[in-house]
Amino acid sequence: MENKSKGNCVDKFIVKRLDEHIINLLKLRSSIRNRIDIRSSTIDYFNELCYENDFRDISEIRNTANQIIVNCNKFLERISEQYSKLN
């Protein structure tokens, strides 16, 4: 098991604020990719459950990506403030 207390604030940020989101993104990607045969064989994609699932998963990817952006912005702001205090 990984030692989560190792490293500086960047390492802790990755573990506490990004890992869970990245795992979620990979699961969503896998979910979408697992439906490739359905998308390839469907005649009326936009009236299929596959479309609804793709739409839901892509929306969740967007929401997760937005949360990553928010977390990164907050972290960068925080470490920038700490850096400016040192100078």
Helix ranges, 8-48 (H): 9-13, 19-33, 36-41
Residues in the chain: 87
DSSP state of 52: H
Radius of gyration of the chain (CA): 19
CB 22 within 8 A of CB 67: no
- The predicted-structure confidence for 6-27, as pLDDT tens digits, reads as follows 788 999 999 999 999 999 999 9
pTM of the model: 0.82
pLDDT in tens, 29-82: 999 999 999 999 999 999 999 999 999 999 999 999 999 999 999 999 999 887
Do the beta carbons of residue 64 and residue 23 sit within 8 Å?
A: no
